[in-house]
Amino acid sequence: MLDKREIGKSALKTTPFLIGMDYMGALATNMLPVLPKAIKDLEHLDMYQNQMMQYLMDPGLNISQAIQNEYFLKGQLALLGLGAFITLKNAWGNRKKHFEDASVYGSHGTARFSTKQEIFDRSIMTNKYGTNGLYLGMYDKKPVIHKKGTKYNRNVAVFGGTGSYKTTGLVIQNILESDDSVVVIDPKTELYRLTSKKMKEKGFDVKVINFMETAHSSRYNPFDYIREDLDARRVAMTLVMNSSESGQSEESFWDKAEVSLLSTIFLYIKYKFVDQPELRHLGSVMNILLSSYDAMEKLFKEFPYEHVVNVSYRKALEKLNDKTRDNVFISLSVTMDLWTYPEVCEFTCKSDFTFEELVKKKTILYVVIPIAQEEFRPLIATFFSQMFAEFYRIGNKNGGELPIPIRVILDEFNNIGRLVKFGERLSTTRSYLIEVMMIIQDLSQLRDRWGKNKANELIANCDSLMFLGTNELEAAQYFSKLLDKTTVRVQTTSASVNQGGESSGESFPVTGRDLMTPGELLRLPTDKMILFMRGRFPSMLDKVGWFENKHFKPMIQEKADLYKHPFEVRTEYRVFRVINEKEREEQKEQKEEKNEKISIQKQQDIDDMFIS
């Protein structure tokens, strides 16, 4: 079969030639009868010349006069036949340079892209805005939106390099389309500026947690979510495993020792300051960590021998020799270095909102994270780990689902660190009414951060996968394999010379090839993206920025200013201070001296009474 596009291209190239031939035919039809008259009547030659010039210069007159001639009309049929022959001949010649889809045969593979009808399968997708669906892209100038309540989870793994329309072509649309609560990572505060006013108009509470400029932020205290003793270990583990550059999940001896010591300090703070919640924060933890070992030991031994604090201390430190113990202290001090700074202690001394608020009232939370700075990564990972843990706790208390569904958009996913039990939770988000969009810039970085097996697990727990373009060969190879093999028919020609003369022939064998090679994926047009959904053929969709979309553009008129956001008023925070031996002796002496003065004064008062 000939390619319709090739026929169209060939016809466009042939049309000017046919028009020229037709015009020349009309001139010949009109001028040939005039020439004999001009030759016979030379006296009136000027008149015949003027008549021929009129035909030449006036196309309308030339054509209108020619169509009155029956031979010219018959010539039109011949000209059309000639045009068709040239068009088909050129198209056939061009066909040799191409192959055509033959996936229906399936001998080498059945991969292909979805048809329009398959893309807009009504059981899964809608092309209507305002349905609280998950916006995935555009096709044929219509939105492709994943409906709620389908058999698929609405977790999406998005892969796209810099400038691939992640924010302008996907994230902003999914914020504005949501009628559920939203948590979104906002690396440049661009999302807050563009969408917060509209979300407030829609009735959302607007909150900001800013790990980049902690003075312009609501506060977050991890201790508010250490309810059970095991929570202390989970927080300690998250802080420790995200403090190093390594992305592997295996814990070293030093990591385990740090986790044990940090868990012990957390438990001490938890039980010691039950009636003083203002002292339960990581600033107090840092002060204990910086105290001497003897002072710390006395703190832990304030609790009975069988108490979890005392037991945890003995497991963490008692069996270590002095040198090893000192190294654990030094290593953990480096891990907790962030809380050396008063502004960080102030930022984490109290929570200005709870995660429960996000799923009890429609709320959008913008999470501003620093991209090029790694110091906050342990705290950011702790924030998201505790957030998901809280959502599951609330869901379990509410019959297995959240009171209000929530959409979590994790832009710059590789920069938030590794979250505790995230892979396991991702596999069950659908039943809890949680949907997660992970936006990943670099496949190799994801595997480095999480380990290859864990990274594959994260991707596998997303029923939708989106490829927006990449410069990374590893990612291109991965998605080329994901697209799979297809069957194509190729035209081949052959020629031979023998005693009877020359002969030629054509054949159309089928062969296999990648639906798209890694090279073709690296060259994917910037306005295209590929959607993968479990159990379906991939879809080639269009990227359209919010500013090019008639539905979304009117929603963003006036930009908001983060520095004018009404954050909670802060008061001075308190930190638990460990008293060392010297200070303890001084305090003891001061107390004894004070008691002695009181005793002397009392005796003096008694003597004065008797004298009276």
* pLDDT for the residue numbered 309: 95
* pLDDT for the residue numbered 507: 60
Span 367-389, average pLDDT: 94
CA dihedral 360, 438, 547, 206 (to 10 degrees): 20
Span 350-361, average pLDDT: 97
Q: 198 and 226 share a domain?
A: no
Q: Mean of the per-residue pLDDT values for the chain?
A: 86
Which span out of 234-248, 255-269, 493-507, 571-585 was modeled with the highest average pLDDT? 255-269
Locate 157 and state its tokens: 């793994």
pLDDT in tens, 302-312: 999 999 999 99
* pLDDT for the residue numbered 247: 46
Q: How many angstroms separate the CA atoms of 359 and 395, rounded?
A: 10
Q: How many angstroms separate the CA atoms of 232 and 8, rounded?
A: 70
Residue where one domain finishes, among candidates 502, 533, 564 = 533
Confidence of residue 95 (pLDDT cuts 50, 70, 90): low
**Residue 379 forms part of a structural domain:** yes
CA nearest neighbour of 309 among 265, 256, 259 = 265
Residue where one domain finishes, among candidates 494, 510, 533 = 533
* pLDDT for the residue numbered 530: 97
* pLDDT for the residue numbered 492: 63
pTM of the model: 0.79
Q: Name beta bridge partners: 101.
A: 488
Instruction: Name the domain count of the chain.
Output: 4
Locate 322 and state its tokens: 């002095």
Q: 207 and 234 share a domain?
A: no
Q: 165 and 65 share a domain?
A: no
CATH number of the domain where residue 302 is located: 1.10.8
Q: 93 and 212 share a domain?
A: no
**Residue 422 forms part of a structural domain:** yes
Burial class (CB in 10 A: 0-12, 13-18, 19+), 466: buried
**Residue 550 forms part of a structural domain:** no
Q: How many angstroms separate the CA atoms of 434 and 445, rounded?
A: 25
**Residue 186 forms part of a structural domain:** yes
Q: 280 and 298 share a domain?
A: yes
* pLDDT for the residue numbered 487: 79
How distant is the alpha carbon of residue 2 from its chain centre? 41
Q: How many angstroms separate the CA atoms of 380 and 239, rounded?
A: 9
Q: 195 and 287 share a domain?
A: no
For residues 418 and 77, which has the higher predicted lDDT (pLDDT)? Answer: 418
* pLDDT for the residue numbered 509: 66
Q: What is the DSSP letter of 105?
A: T
**Residue 554 forms part of a structural domain:** no
Please list, in sequence order, all residues whose beta carbon lies within 8 angstroms of the beta carbon of residue 367, skipping any fewer than 6 positions away: 183, 184, 185, 186, 209, 211, 380, 383
Q: 227 and 339 share a domain?
A: yes
* pLDDT for the residue numbered 69: 74
In Å, how far are 123, 583, 584 from 594, measured between CA atoms? 82, 16, 15
Residue where one domain finishes, among candidates 293, 312, 343 = 343
pLDDT in tens, 133-160: 999 999 999 999 999 989 999 999 999 9
pLDDT at residue 470 greater than cutoff 80: yes
Please list, in sequence order, all residues whose beta carbon lies within 8 angstroms of the beta carbon of residue 272, skipping any fewer than 6 positions away: 299, 302, 576
For residues 556 and 593, which has the higher predicted lDDT (pLDDT)? Answer: 556
Q: What is the DSSP letter of 479?
A: H
Q: 396 and 413 share a domain?
A: yes
Among the ranges given (23-32, 193-202, 421-430, 557-566), the one the predictor scored with the smallest mean pLDDT: 23-32
In this structure, are residues 562 and 216 in contact, taking their beta carbons and an 8 Å threshold?
yes
Q: 377 and 514 share a domain?
A: yes
pLDDT in tens, 125-135: 999 999 999 99
pLDDT at residue 584 greater than cutoff 60: no
**Residue 107 forms part of a structural domain:** no
Helix (H) or strand (E) holding 570: none
Please list, in sequence order, all residues whose beta carbon lies within 8 angstroms of the beta carbon of residue 381, skipping any fewer than 6 positions away: 238, 239, 242, 416, 417, 418, 419
| C-alpha atoms less than 13 angstroms from C-alpha of 162 in its C-beta half-sphere | 0
Question: Which amino acid is present at 163?
Answer: G
**Residue 521 forms part of a structural domain:** yes
pLDDT in tens, 159-209: 998 889 999 999 999 999 999 999 999 999 999 999 999 999 999 999 999
Among the ranges given (275-289, 388-402, 588-602), the one the predictor scored with the smallest mean pLDDT: 588-602
Span 548-575, average pLDDT: 93
Helix (H) or strand (E) holding 35: helix 34-40
Span 468-478, average pLDDT: 94
Which span out of 94-108, 169-183, 476-490, 596-610 was modeled with the highest average pLDDT? 169-183
**Residue 20 forms part of a structural domain:** yes
pLDDT in tens, 19-52: 777 767 766 776 667 666 666 665 555 665 666 6
Locate 251 and state its tokens: 């814990």
Q: 240 and 260 share a domain?
A: yes
Domain of 150, in residue numbers: 116-126+144-216+363-533
* pLDDT for the residue numbered 20: 75
What does the DSSP assignment read for 37-68? HHHH-GGGHHHHHHHHHHHHH-HHHHHHHHTT
Q: 529 and 403 share a domain?
A: yes
* pLDDT for the residue numbered 293: 87
* pLDDT for the residue numbered 52: 66
Q: 9 and 32 share a domain?
A: yes
pLDDT at residue 108 greater than cutoff 80: no
Among the ranges given (76-90, 108-122, 211-225, 564-578), the one the predictor scored with the smallest mean pLDDT: 76-90
What totals of helices (H) and strands (E) does the chain contain, helices first? 24, 17
CA nearest neighbour of 296 among 269, 257, 259, 327 = 269
CATH number of the domain where residue 430 is located: 3.40.50.300
